[in-house]
Structure 1
Amino acid sequence: MSNRIAYDKVAPAGLKNLFAMEGYLTQKTGLDNKLRELVKIRVSQINGCAFCLNMHTQDARKIGETEQRLNVLVAWRETSLFTATEEAALALAEKLTRIADNQISEVFYQEIRAFFDEKDFTDLVLLITQINTWNRISIVMANEVE
């Protein structure tokens, strides 16, 4: 399968804000680099986006993420390899990605907020929504894994 549309060429103005958000998420947040990649990978696993999985597992390895943690990320609740902060971020990522099935209760919100201040929590929500957007674009446009 090959890309259906060269969407970056057809609608560069539409993608401008997505790329600006990427810049913000990588340069203007206090979120740990490995945590960001773990969230992107977990969301991409849920959504079945091969293109994003390929990209973000490679990116994670480049910043020192271990093969062991990448291998068990899909079952992160079943291992002690992740920090409490990473687990909170992954739980939020799963809930937001499957939001129709998972309402965000006040109890859940407070549990997650215990790990993140207002800015980091907001940035985490932006990160999760951003990778969900990229997953959907990549899937419908049939982005090719190189």
Structure 2
Amino acid sequence: MPSTESTNPRIDYGAFQDIVPEMGTGMAAISHALRKSGIEPDLLEMLKIRVSQLNGCAFCVQYHLNDARKLNVPAAKLDLLAAWREAGIYSAREAAALDWTERVTLLANHHIDDESHTHVSAHFSEREIAFLTTAIGQINFWNRVAAPLRFAPPIPAGS
């Protein structure tokens, strides 16, 4: 039986920002820290897209695709994120970050074992792992706001 469920926004993104301005301020502070972290901006965008794919958040997928394109992330890397393990185009560092991203995002499905931490530690310093995990937590939070409230995806002009 077809769903009668609407895809219309439940709360407009702008209205949400007006209702809870403190969240925007807090998230901006985290984003500022991530920009200063030294982790490659394109890698941070790819992990935000991957988390948003896993969580089914159309707003965040589109938002971070837009940002990744502005950073000139290769189209193939964006197109193949959902199948990154099989794609063969990601560096060892990118693959380690994407693996960590999935494990942290899907935490309810499994325990993160020492082997997983050892794998990410081979490519990232302790400081970088702290920032990666913060970025993953931040986008998971945004997904848990944007998806249930159905923020409309920010489609670029001309698309």
SS at 2:151 equivalent: coil
Gaps of 5+ in 1: none
Deviation at 1:7, TM superposition (A): 2.0
Encode CA deviations 1:43-95: one digit per residue, 9 max, x unaligned. 00000110111111111111111111111110001021000000000001101
How far, CA to CA, are the matches of 2:56 and 2:22 in structure 1? Answer: 27
Could you state the TM-score of these two structures normalised by the residue count of structure 1?
0.94
Does residue 63 of structure 1 match 2:71?
A: yes
Amino acid at match of 1:143: F
Q: How many residues align?
A: 145
Unaligned runs of at least 5 residues, structure 2: 1-7, 155-159
Higher Rg of the two aligned structures: 2
Amino acid at match of 2:16: Y
What is the root-mean-square deviation of aligned Cα atoms in Å? 1.2
Instruction: Quote the Cα distance in structure 1 between the aligned partners of 2:16 and 2:150.
Output: 11
- AA of the residue aligned to 2:133: V
TM-score after normalising by structure 2: 0.86
- Whether the aligned pair in 2 keeps the contact of 1:3 and 1:142 (CA below 8 Å) is yes
Note the C-alpha offset of 1:3: 4.4
Question: CA contact under 8 A between 1:40 and 1:128: conserved in structure 2?
Answer: yes
Match of 1:7 among 8, 11, 16: 16
Residue 16 (structure 1) aligns with: 25
The list of structure 1 runs, each at least 4 consecutive aligned residues, that deviate by more than 6 angstroms after superposition, is: none
Q: CA deviation at 1:19?
A: 1.9
